[in-house]
Amino acid sequence: MTELNPVQQERLRERQTRFSQPAFFAQLALLGFLLVIPLAFSSFRVIDVVAKIMIFAVFAASYDLLLGYSGLLSLGHSMFFGIGAYSLALVIYHLGPPHWYHLVLATGVALALSISMALVIAFFSLRVKAIFFAMMTLALAEFADILAVQWYDLTRAEDGVSFKLPGIFSLEWSAPPLFGMEINGRLMTYYFILIVSVLLFVGLLRFVRSPVGRVLQAIRDNEPRATALGYHTFRYQVLAIVFGSSVASLSGILFAMWLRYVNPGSVLSLPIMLNVLLMVIIGGLGTMYGSLVGSAFIKIAETWLPDLQKVAKGLLPQVEIAHRLAERWILYFGILFILVVFFFPKGFVGTAREIFRRRKGRRSEGG
C-alpha cells in the first residue's frame, strides 16, 4: 500500500471529518430554513425575495468561478443569464401551449447557445491580454441587449414576453391543502427552484474543489508558473468559461420560471451584471459561499430599503426633509456597500475565514 503525501493526508482528513464540522450543520440549518419558508411566511413578498436569492446565489457563484477562481474578468456574464431566460420564454411563447417537453427543449437550446458563445469568446480573447477578454464580453453583452430590443417579432422587444408553465408549475394548478398550507403551482415552482439551485451550487463546489479547480487557482495566482509545470492553461480556462456560462444560463431559466415574464431590462441589462459583480465582491472573491451572502444582501436591500419612505411618513408625517431623505434609498444602498468594502475588504466570507485562520494559528502556537 502506497503512503499518502501530506496533501493527500489533509484531504483524507477533511473527508472523514466533514460531517462533524460546524459548517456542515450550518448548511443543514440553511437548507431546513429554505424548506420551511413557505410554511413559516404567508407573505408572497418574503417567498419572492428568498426565491430570487437562491437563483442569484447560483448566478453569482458561476461568476465567482470565473473571477474569483480563474482570475477572468468578464463584463458580459449576464448575457448567459439572459440566454437561459429567453430560451425558456421564447420556446413556450412561440411553440405554445406549454408542455413538459418545452422545458427540456429550452434547456437544450440554452446550453447549446451558451456553450457556443463561451467557446467563441474563449478562442478569440483568451490568447491576448485579460482586458481584451473583459471588453469583448462587454461588447457581446451589449449586442445581445440591443438585439433583444430591436428584434420585436422574436422577443417582443421592451414589451417583453409573458408565458405560462405546464403541469404542476402552472398558476392554475392546485392540490388539496397539506397541514393547512395551500398547494399550488407557485409553491411547486419554489421547491423546484430550491432543488435545482442546490444541485447547481453543489456542482460548482465540486468543480472548484476538483483537480481542475486547483489548477485554475494556480493559473490565477501565477500563470507562467502553471505553464512551466506542464499545465495547458488555455484548456483549463476554456473549461471554466464553458462550465460557468452553462450554470449562469440554467439560473436564467430558473429566473424566467419564477417571473413567468422576460424582457431585456430584467435579464440582459448592464445593472444585472453590476449586481452580480457586487454580490461576488460583498460575499468574497473565491469563496463560493460568499455568493449566498452577497445575493441575500443585494436582494434584501433592493426590496426593503425603498420602504424607508413609508416609514418616514408614518413616524414623521409633517417633516418634509425626512421624506426627501427617505426617497434616496439608492444613496443608502451605496453607503452600505462602501461600509461593507471598508470593514470587510475580502468580503463577508473571505474576511470571516481570515479571522478564523488567524485564531486557529494563535491557538496552535499557544499549544
Lowest mean pLDDT among 137-141, 249-253, 308-312: 308-312
CB atoms under 10 Å from CB of 4, counted, come to 11
- 150-165: pLDDT as tens digits: 999 989 888 999 999 9
Tell me if 290 sits within 8 A of 280, measured CB to CB.
yes
SS3 180: coil
- 157-204: pLDDT as tens digits: 889 999 999 989 998 888 887 766 788 899 999 999 999 999 999 999
Burial 105-139 (b: 16+ CB within 10 A, else e): bbbebbbebbbebbeebbeebbeeeeeebbebbbe
Residue 107 is part of a domain; what is its CATH number? 1.10.3470
If you search the block for the grid coordinates 417579432, which residue do you land on?
153
Residue 28 lies in a domain: no
Per-residue pLDDT, averaged over 54-62, amounts to: 96
- 275-312: pLDDT as tens digits: 999 899 999 888 899 999 999 988 988 888 777 666 65
Q: How far apart, in Å, are the Cα atoms of 274 and each of 15, 60, 138, 268, 281?
A: 36, 11, 12, 11, 11
Residue 293 lies in a domain: yes
In this model, does residue 73 exceed pLDDT 90?
no
CA distance 185 to 303: 23
- 262-278: pLDDT as tens digits: 999 999 988 899 899 98
pLDDT band at 49 (very low <50, low <70, confident <90, very high): very high
Alpha helix positions (H), the chain: 6-17, 22-40, 44-64, 77-95, 100-125, 130-150, 152-155, 185-209, 211-221, 223-228, 233-259, 264-267, 270-283, 290-304, 308-315, 320-327, 329-343, 347-366
CB atoms under 10 Å from CB of 234, counted, come to 14
SS3 347: helix
- 211-221: pLDDT as tens digits: 899 999 998 88
- Closest by alpha carbon to 57, among 18, 37, 31? 31
Percent of the residues in the chain that have a pLDDT greater than 70, as a whole number? 83
**For every residue of 117-140, which 3-state class applies, written as one string?**
HHHHHHHHHCCCCHHHHHHHHHHH
Lowest mean pLDDT among 60-74, 82-96, 303-317: 303-317
Range of 360's domain? 43-366
- For the chain, the residue count is 367
Residue 193 lies in a domain: yes
CB atoms under 10 Å from CB of 274, counted, come to 12
- 331-348: pLDDT as tens digits: 666 777 777 777 777 888
SS3 42: coil
CA distance 236 to 215: 8
Residue 122 lies in a domain: yes
Cis peptide before 97 (omega within 30 of 0): yes
Residue 168 lies in a domain: yes
- Mean of all residue pLDDT scores within the chain: 84
In this model, does residue 1 exceed pLDDT 50?
no
Residue 33 lies in a domain: no
In the chain, the largest separation of any two C-alpha atoms, in whole Å, equals 81
In this model, does residue 7 exceed pLDDT 90?
no
Total-model pTM? 0.89
Per-residue pLDDT, averaged over 11-27, amounts to: 63
Residue 238 lies in a domain: yes
Residue 20 lies in a domain: no
Q: What's the structural domain count of the chain?
A: 1
